[in-house]
Amino acid sequence: MRLVVARCSVVYEGRLDASLPEANRLLMRKADGCIAIHADGGAYKPLNWMNAPNTVVEHDDKWVVTNPKGETLTIYLHEVFSDSSHELGEDPGLTKDGVEAHLQELLADLPESIEPGLTLIRREYPTAVGPVDLLCRDASGQTVAVEIKRRGEIDGVEQLTRYIDCLHADTSLGNIRGIFVAQSIKPQARVLAESRGMGWCEVDYDELRGKRTDELRLF
């Protein structure tokens, strides 16, 4: 990663025209080609940026960044205070310990966050191939098997399919449908779920925690 602290001005030309007047800012050029321009404030969000893939041409007094869409970001360098590069290496990504288990717990308390009218029958409902995260009943009385993941991928849909196949052996449950739930679900997993007649739902972990906290304060 390259970090440049400079007095600069910026002009963006693309879907709309935008500019930043001259001021002191941090310029970040990441290994993947992404360019981000930050002020000393505003948390994580840059003032302007250009995602990869792009082409950067550096002149003595400016950087000209272009992408395949024809958008251009020109950074005029009026004074450079520091310019350093750092090799960060491969990042393993953010890990939140216990999120998936806690997500299941939250959704067991708030099944209507998955679908209006949904009520819980049981958590960790046993089957021959493992427990279903949540077994629920919808507003019409139909049994619903819910599989919960932190990140929704194809293997999670396959897992839910196996659970539903096993649940069909229990005639007392009647007709069964499935809902695949995660904080984020990949497009391929959504398509697979829909092709098998399953629903899918993305949920916000922090929002669910807030909902339950608010409810607990009422009693």
Q: What pLDDT, on a 0 to 100 scale, did the predictor assign at position 90?
A: 73
Q: Are 164 and 193 in contact (CB under 8 A)?
A: no
> Are 96 and 150 in contact, with CB atoms under 8 Å apart?
yes
Give per-10-residue mean pLDDT for the chain (219 aa).
96 90 96 90 81 92 94 97 90 59 91 95 92 96 95 94 93 94 95 96 87 44
**Across the strands, what pairs with 198?**
none
Q: How far apart are CA 157 and CA 155, in angstroms?
A: 5
Domain-wise residue ranges, the chain? 2-85, 99-217
- What integer pLDDT is reported at residue 7 of this predicted model? 98
The confidence score (pLDDT) of residue 187 equals 95
CB 134 within 8 A of CB 107: yes
pLDDT score recorded for residue 212: 55
Closest CA to 210 of 94, 109, 101: 109
What pLDDT sits at residue 213?
46
Q: Which residues contact 183 (CB under 8 A, 6 or more apart)?
A: 99, 103, 150, 151, 152, 202, 203, 204, 205
Q: What is the pLDDT of residue 58?
A: 95
Residue 214 confidence (pLDDT): 45
**Fold for the domain defined by 99-217:** Trna Endonuclease; Chain: A, domain 1 (3.40.1350)
Provide the pLDDT for residue 218.
Answer: 34
CA–CA distance, 191 with 196 (Å, rounded to integer): 9
Hey, which CATH number is domain 2-85, 2.70.180.20, 3.40.50.300, 1.20.1530.20, 3.30.110.40?
2.70.180.20
What is the reported pLDDT for 17? 86
- Token representation of residue 39: 């002020």
- Counting beta carbons within 10 angstroms of the beta carbon of residue 162, is it exposed (0 to 12), middle (13 to 18) or buried (19 or more)? middle
User: Can you give the pTM of this predicted structure?
Assistant: 0.54
Q: Which pLDDT score is estimated for 92? A: 64
pLDDT score for 45: 80
- Determine the pLDDT at residue 98: 57
